[in-house]
Amino acid sequence: MQLRRFLILAGWLVAGAPASLMAQTYAQADIQYGARLYAEQCTLCHGATGDVVAGVDLRANRFKRSTTDNELRNVISNGVPGTAMVSFKFAPPELTAVIAYLRNMRDFDSKTTLIGDPARGRVVFEGKGECARCHRVNGKGPRVAPDLSDIGAIRTPDALRRVIVDPEAQLRPANRSVRAVTQDGKVITGRRLNEDTYTVQLIDEQERLVSLVKANLRDYGLIKGTSMPAYGDKLAPDELADLLAYLLSLKGL
């Protein structure tokens, strides 16, 4: 059957294709974060060079059971029963980073410092970066901008780096501000929490939860741009690296 042969071929392409067929780029920040996590969590068994376990050479991307990134995720998250490979409780961004590192171990340049020191990063966050003027962390700070208490558990290093450097381009739609004008001319601006065809729910600049019925508004729309500065030019590379390290350390309760 032609169809059957086609299905087998298609199945091989999806499940059995070598990693090289699945061209994927890994962000430098993720790779470096992964290197840090690898050093903390993986070297005990796999060694710094990745070839200590017999039959496994992480640097050469030679694994016993995994080909795709998803398979690697499964092995790392669930372990391999009956072997020394235990399960690891990594947050999703950490898992992404570890895999990014595994895929790039051979060429990894440990001299690059995209991720610095979290303690120094906190100083940047609260000082020069003025991040704490809008963002809240662990119950301290305003609620106008998104709360960052668990940002390190939900965003990859690269995603964080990109939004810090160029927020205008990277800001998520949900974090964009809106401006509403009521029939009597009152202007309400705030960050959207929820929206549908007829209503919008937001937290306004006075940190009030506000629900608006669109039919009752004179004017309503997205505010172009963002009040978040682009930090690409405002912070030195090492400051940026420290800030990133601090944000990655915020894992929530």
Partner 1 sequence: MMIKRAILPLLLAAAIPYALHGQMSSSTRLVRAADEPHNWLTYSGGYSGQRHSTLRQVDATNVKNLEIKWIFQANSLQSFSATPLVVDGIMYVTQAPNDVVAIDAVTGKVFWLYHHSASPGRLCCRGQVNRGVAILDDTLFMATVDAYLIAIDAKNGRPIWKTKVGDASSAYGMTLAPLVIKDKVVVGVAGAEFGIRGYIAAYEAATGKEAWRFYTIPGPGEPGHETWKGDAWKHGGGSVWTTGTYDPELNLTYWGIGNPGPDFNNAQRPGDNLYSDSVVALDADTGKLKWHFQFTPNDPYDYDSTQVPVLVDANWNGTPRKLMYFANRNGFFYVLDRVTGEYLLGKAYTEVNWTSGLDPKGRPVLTPQPAGQTTYPGPLGATNWYSPSFSPSTNLFYLSAWENYGQVFDPGDPVEFREGQNFTGGRLSPPPGAPAMPGMQRGPVNTWHEGAAHGVVMAIDPKTGTKKWGYEMHDVTTSGVLTTATDLLFVGGREGYFHALDARTGALLWKVNVGGETAAGPMTYQVDGKQYVAVAAGHSLFTFALR
Residue of 37, 163, 188, 240 interacting with partner 1 (CB under 8 A): 188
The residue among 134 and 165 lying less far from partner 1, judged by its C-beta, is 134
**Of 52, 41, 48, 101, whose CA–CA distance to 72 is shortest?**
101
Q: What angle do CA 155, 161, 165 make, to 5 degrees?
A: 135
Q: Quick one: tokens of 14?
A: 């999806």
Compose the 153-182 pattern: x for residues touching partner 1 by CB under 8 A, - for all others.
-----------------------------x
Residue type, 149: S
Cα gap 176→170, rounded to integer Å: 11
Site membership for partner 1, residue 197 (CB under 8 A): no
> How near is the Cβ of 186 to partner 1 at its closest, in Å?
7
Q: Which residue has the tokens 């205008």?
A: 168
Site membership for partner 1, residue 210 (CB under 8 A): yes
Site membership for partner 1, residue 149 (CB under 8 A): yes
Site membership for partner 1, residue 89 (CB under 8 A): no
The order of strands in the sheet holding 209-213 is: 209-213, 199-204, 187-195, 177-182, 217-222
Q: Quick one: tokens of 72?
A: 């690697």
For the segment 108-137, give every residue that binds partner 1 (CB under 8 A).
136
Residue of 203, 229, 232, 251 interacting with partner 1 (CB under 8 A): 203
> How near is the Cβ of 211 to partner 1 at its closest, in Å?
4
Cα gap 169→139, rounded to integer Å: 28
CA 50 from chain centre, in angstroms, equals 25
Residue of 7, 45, 169, 209 interacting with partner 1 (CB under 8 A): 209
Beta bridge partners of 201: 194, 211
The residue among 35 and 212 lying less far from partner 1, judged by its C-beta, is 212
Site membership for partner 1, residue 221 (CB under 8 A): no
DSSP letter string, 223-246: PSS-SSPP-TTTS-HHHHHHHHHH
The residue among 28 and 149 lying less far from partner 1, judged by its C-beta, is 149
Phi, psi of 186 (to 5 degrees): -75, 135
Site membership for partner 1, residue 252 (CB under 8 A): yes
The residue among 128 and 136 lying less far from partner 1, judged by its C-beta, is 136
The residue among 171 and 203 lying less far from partner 1, judged by its C-beta, is 203
C-alpha distances (whole Å) from 127 to each of 46, 53, 136, 235, 237 are 40, 46, 14, 11, 16
> How near is the Cβ of 150 to partner 1 at its closest, in Å?
8
List residues near partner 1 by CB under 8 A: 136, 139, 143, 147, 149, 182-184, 186, 188, 193-194, 196, 199, 201, 203-204, 206-213, 216-217, 252-253
